Amino acid sequence: MGAKSSGDGETTEMSGDAARAAGASEPTEGSQDASLDTVEIVGTIKWFDAGKGFGFIVPDNGLADVLLHVTCLRRDGFQTAYEGARVVCEALNRPGGLQAFRILSMDESTARHPAQMPTSRTHVTVEPTSSMVRLEVKWFNRIKGFGFLSAGEGTPDVFVHMETLRRFGITELRPGQFVLVRYGEGPKGLMVAEIRPDGWGEAPSSH
């Protein structure tokens, strides 16, 4: 069945979540399963990663987490799902666990939008020492909460924390994407202090 919600964070359960999402099939509107095995679920968005294309709903009734595919969201007119949003959906009981089939309603009044996320108490902030430069995303993992940016081959990687993204209203980063940043010296090397979308302002190329 799906990963149970725990206080340990999402890192330890991600491998199981990813395997479940990879093995799940996207139900079609006219599938026989939809008429036979659909159950109504009322719950809260646990997390949703548009880059990975899936997330999970925590049902109010204590059932295991419900897998939510991005295709299900967008078919019903939603672009994404914010953590904490209240949702009513129809779900199918698949061999791997419950999977959302149709979104009936979503209330974002309780959602935590990225820019409103509290700063982590364990997150280190740094003072920027660089000018605004354009860097490429080398690697980023939303579940682990960090990643690295690069100015090109032969240059040191620049560490970026998920909490820094949230402070500047950015939800995710994808490899190959360019962003504008100011960075400084962190405890383990260069670290992003400010981050903006590419094209936000005039910045010299890092290459």
Q: What is the pLDDT of residues 68-125, one digit of tens each?
A: 999 999 898 888 888 889 999 999 988 778 999 999 999 988 877 655 554 444 456 7
SS3 73: helix
Give residue-wise pLDDT tens across range 139-171: 888 777 889 999 988 889 999 988 888 888 887
Q: Which pTM does this prediction carry?
A: 0.46
Cα separations in angstroms, 54 against 62, 74, 153, 158, 190: 21, 12, 32, 28, 31
Q: Say if residue 11's pLDDT is above 80.
A: no
Nearest to 67 by CA among 94, 28, 42: 94
- Which residue is listed with tokens 């309603």? 105
Confidence (pLDDT) at 6: 39
Q: Decide: 90 and 38 in contact? Cβ < 8 Å.
A: yes
In this prediction, residue 201 has a pLDDT band, given cuts at 50, 70 and 90, of: low
**Which residues make Cβ contacts (< 8 Å) with residue 146, sequence separation at least 6?**
140, 159, 160, 161, 162
